[in-house]
Structure 1
Amino acid sequence: MNHQQLERDIEHLERVISHISAEDGIPLSYWRSRIDVVSGAVRVPAQASRIKRLNAALSALEMRQKA
């Protein structure tokens, strides 16, 4: 994945994750797999930090869904 595509993917995930809920039509497992794919392509610390925040936000949603 090239740098520009990776940045676009991270930006998209940041927008989506901040607006979804456990009750949305797309399962949280889909977003988990998207984050996992993008995290495998991370090349710089700033991207890793953004992915870490995305993981934390999605984990919180996943915990609420299980509760």
Structure 2
Amino acid sequence: MNHQQLEKDIEHLEHVMPRISAADRIPLSYWRTRVNSVLAAMLVPSQASRVKRLNEALRVLEARGN
């Protein structure tokens, strides 16, 4: 994944994560796949900390959904 696409993906996730819930039409598993794909990329430290926050927010949503 190139740097520009990676940055766009992180920005998109940062935008939607506060708005999603376990009851949404798009399942949390979709968002888990998106976050995991970003986690698997080569991240600079600032991106890594942002993705860590996204991962934690999603983990909380997943725990609430169970």
TM-score by length of structure 1 reads 0.93
Question: Runs in 1 of length 4+ with deviation above 3 angstroms?
Answer: none
The whole-number CA distance in structure 1 between the counterparts of 2:42 and 2:35 is 11
Q: How does 1:1-67 map to 2 (within 5 A)?
A: 1-66=1-66
**Where do 5+ consecutive residues of structure 1 fail to align?**
none
Q: Is the 8 A contact 1:6 1:42 kept in 2?
A: no
- TM-align CA RMSD: 0.8
Spell out, residue by residue over 1:3-38, the C-alpha distance to the aligned partner (whole angstroms, 9 max, x if none): 111000000011111110110001001100110011
**Structure 2: gaps (5+ residues):** none
